Amino acid sequence: MLNNGGPRYKRSALERQMNVDVVWCVVILLVLCVVGAVGCKLWLSSYEDVGPLVPFLPFTNDPAIEGVLAFWTFIIILQVMIPLSLYVTLEMTKLIQVYHIHHDVDLFDPKTNKRIECRALNIPEELGQVI
């Protein structure tokens, strides 16, 4: 009972590598945003008396607050570095491959009158490893 943790989700080597790459993209994004925010704060603090930097926010004459706002601005601007559409594209490609495998005439068994069944989307990825 203690060892029963439920079923384990099997991930292909491609999915595991993609997850590592996306984590590195997030780390690079955060580093770039922190560097940009610190640079914005240092650049604004080099000036003597600057009025409110954003006219409708009167409390933004503090360079530290501007640095925080710059951090979130850089997050919004640079978020395209994280390839979320890559996951969607891979899943759609897997779905199309499974469709073609299911409708392949050469994989039809006339004795049992059945086609091949793909019950998982990661089957086409693992087929390349069969010797």
**Contact in structure between 123 and 98 (CB atoms under 8 Å):** yes
Top-confidence residue, 75 or 98: 75
112, exposed or middle or buried, with CB in 10 Å at 0-12, 13-18, 19+?
exposed
pLDDT bin (cut points 50, 70, 90) of residue 121 is confident
> Does 51 or 82 have the greater pLDDT score?
82
Q: Is residue 69 within 8 Å of residue 75, measured between CB atoms?
A: no
pLDDT digits (tens, 9 = 90+) for 86-110: 888 888 888 888 888 888 888 888 8
Please tell me the distance from the alpha carbon of residue 39 to that of residue 67, in angstroms, as a whole number. Answer: 8
